[in-house]
Amino acid sequence: MHDSLKEGQLYVTVDMMILTVREGKLNLLLSQRKDKPYAGQWALPGRFVGLDESAETTVHKLLEEMLPVKDAFLEQLYTFSEVNRDPRGRVISTAYLVIIPWNRLETLFEEARIPFSRFEISGEADWLRLKGTDGTILTGGDLAFDHGRIIGTGVQRLQGKIDYTEVGFRFLNDRNAFSLGELQTVFEAVLGKQLDKSNFRRTIKARYEDTGKMTLTDREGRKSRGRPSLLYQLKGE
């Protein structure tokens, strides 16, 4: 459909930054391009916005086709409109943050029913390093198009919002049964640094439990060794 773009016409795409937290690390899903521009290079999953759909709708469709996953969190990130950002023609892209709990992706990866590869994000927002499952190390400039810049913007945005919004909870496997330890792991992965346990708990409890947004359940978490954790749930979504 869009293999060759018409001249004298402007196109809009959406690009998705699919994020998850696995084993204490922030992970990003990328796909390897098959077709002509930047063939073989890694890129954010994207798609052209159709005439009969909003950008949000496009992202939803793209997600549903690629990942049989419900309950993904979506947020518009930024619109990139440099004239030469796409060698195929005039393409403006609106980037979206997508957050998916790791347990929705785990089995898909094991069964190889997923058209993406997983990369661990490390480094500061400007000097990002992406480490693939096979050991490949990528940096922003290695990616197709301006996707390196998009990813930098996205990580910064996420780090800036996690303290005073509820996005952090979107990484949890089960928002109706999670421990504060799990939540802290998410925060540490996103922020890329260790947090004090006691202070973290007090802050979260003050901000969410005392306001009724988060309540203690009667269930207990039981992982491997160590004291079982109390499980909380998020209310009203």
Partner DNA sequence: CCAAAAGTGTTGGTCGTACACCCATGC
Partner DNA sequence: GCATGGGTGTACGACCAACACTTTTGG
Interface residues toward DNA, by CB under 7 A: 179-182, 196-199, 201-203, 206, 222-230
Q: What distances in angstroms separate CA 125 from CA 35, 122, 192, 196, 216, one per listed residue?
A: 29, 9, 10, 22, 35
How many angstroms separate the CA atoms of 76 and 214, rounded?
A: 26
DSSP string over 188-211: HHHHTS---HHHHHHHHIIIIITT
Residue with smaller CB distance to a second copy, 59 or 130: 59
Residue 199 binds which entry of a second copy, DNA, none, with Cβ cut-offs from 5 to 8 Å by kind?
Answer: DNA
CB of 94 to a second copy, least distance (A): 5
The listed partner (DNA, a second copy, none) that binds 181, CB under 5 to 8 Å by sort, is DNA
The option from a second copy, DNA, none interacting with 10 (CB < 5 to 8 A, set by class) reads a second copy
Say if CB 91 and CB 40 are below 8 A apart.
Answer: no
Query: Toward DNA, which CB reaches closer, 57 or 215?
Result: 215
Would you say 50 or 115 has its CB closer to a second copy?
A: 50
Listed residue (184, 192, 188) closest to 122, CA to CA: 192
Three-state secondary-structure class, residue 34 = coil
Q: Nearer to DNA by C-beta: 71 or 124?
A: 124
Residue number with CB closer to DNA (45 or 101): 101
The alpha carbon of residue 182 and the mean position of all alpha carbons in its chain are separated, in whole angstroms, by 17
Interaction site with a second copy (CB under 8 A): 8-12, 49, 51-56, 76, 78-79, 81-83, 90, 92, 94
Least gap, CB of 212 to a second copy (angstroms): 22
SS3 label, residue 60: helix
**Max CA-CA distance within the chain?**
65
- Least Cβ distance, residue 160 to DNA (angstroms): 15
Q: Which does 55 bind (CB under 5 to 8 A by kind): a second copy, DNA, none?
A: a second copy
**Closest separation between CB of residue 206 and DNA, Å?**
6
Contacts of 177 (CB under 8 A, 6+ apart): 217, 219, 221, 231, 232, 233
Binds 76: which of a second copy, DNA, none (CB < 5-8 Å by kind):
a second copy
Give the nearest distance from C-beta 126 to a second copy in angstroms.
18
